[in-house]
Amino acid sequence: MGRAAVDISTLSRDEQLALLDQLWQSLGRDPGVLPLTEAHRQELDRRLDDLEEEGPVGIGWDDLVEQIRTRSR
């Protein structure tokens, strides 16, 4: 497979960020490319457990819309 050589030092900051975004998107297409370590998996499980214990946070969409409408009057 041929690879295009890119000299990133010649790219503008915006071009570098766009290239970085393309790289992340390409890696994200295949979750197996970036496997979770056991430590990461445990931390994500712990955070999910915390969220489930905490229960719903915030307000519902309808309540938010009503608050916005009330404030704008």
Q: Name the residue ranges covered by the structural domains of the chain.
A: 8-71
* Structural contact between residues 46 and 59, judged by C-beta atoms closer than 8 angstroms: no
Residues contacting residue 27 through CB under 8 Å, at least 6 positions apart: 33, 34
- CA distance linking residue 68 with residue 71, whole number of Å: 5
pTM as predicted: 0.43
- CA distance linking residue 42 with residue 1, whole number of Å: 37
Does 11 score more than 80 pLDDT?
Answer: yes
- Longest Cα pair distance anywhere in the chain, in angstroms? 62
pLDDT digits (tens, 9 = 90+) for 14-33: 999 999 999 888 887 887 77
pLDDT digits (tens, 9 = 90+) for 37-65: 999 999 999 999 999 998 888 888 999 99
